[in-house]
């Protein structure tokens, strides 16, 4: 993540590992983004228990982990609501090996699909663009080939990550806005 007040992928992933949580920061943020994009209200804190059920074997999170994940959630919500498409995926730094970044992106997409499925079962309401994006996510989530450490692979990874980011925002903008956030948008009177 590029924001200075955000936990880095490495910091959050290390914290999760220290507490025997097998998910990395990318998967956690993916799950949160999927929940939000699937229609979970932004104002709710009801996501903590289902998240701990999925990634922490039904155990409540340690207070340090809970605090870090709540901070990630709050920052992610702010970024998803930003009109400048500011969502930063919680992935390893660009200096990390390309295959580590690729695996993290796949974990992010797998998390998104899981979180989205928890809140959106009716895809008949979705636009064709959202349906296509979700089909592409299913394909991305199954990728497992190592990438060469070359410029072409770097460009391909960048393009896939950007596609994932924009597809997440598309899903969120179509399905994820809660009633309360809609009411906060000022209405122009003529």
Domains annotated for the chain, with CATH where assigned, are: 9-175 (1.20.120.740)
Low-confidence ranges of the chain (pLDDT < 50): 1-5, 179-190
What is the per-residue pLDDT across 10-55, written as a single tens digit (0 to 9) for each?
999 999 999 999 899 999 999 999 999 998 888 887 888 889 988 9
- Rounded-to-integer distance, Cα 144 and Cα 132, Å: 21
The number of helices, as runs of H, and strands, as runs of E, in the chain is 8, 0
- Rounded-to-integer distance, Cα 38 and Cα 117, Å: 7
Q: Mean pLDDT in the chain?
A: 86
- Rounded-to-integer distance, Cα 126 and Cα 174, Å: 8
3-state helix, strand, coil in the chain (%, to 5): 65, 0, 35
């Amino acid at each position: 993540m590029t924001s200075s007040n955000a936990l880095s992928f490495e910091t959050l992933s290390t914290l999760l590992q220290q507490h025997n949580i097998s998910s990395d920061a990318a998967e956690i943020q993916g799950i949160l983004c999927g929940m939000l994009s699937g229609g979970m209200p932004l104002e709710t804190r009801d996501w903590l228990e289902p998240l701990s059920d999925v990634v922490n074997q039904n155990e409540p999170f340690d207070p340090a982990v809970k605090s870090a994940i709540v901070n990630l959630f709050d920052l992610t919500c702010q970024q998803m609501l930003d009109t400048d498409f500011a969502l930063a995926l919680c992935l390893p730094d660009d200096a990390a090996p390309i295959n580590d970044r690729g695996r993290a992106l796949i974990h992010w997409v797998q998390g998104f699909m899981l979180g989205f499925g928890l809140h959106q079962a009716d895809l008949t309401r979705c636009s064709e663009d959202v349906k296509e994006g979700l089909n592409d996510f299913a394909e991305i989530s199954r990728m497992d080939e190592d990438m060469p450490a070359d410029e072409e692979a770097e460009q391909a990874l960048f393009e896939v990550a950007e596609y994932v980011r924009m597809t997440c925002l598309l899903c969120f903008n179509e399905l994820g806005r809660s009633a309360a956030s809609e009411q906060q948008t000022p209405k122009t009177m003529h």
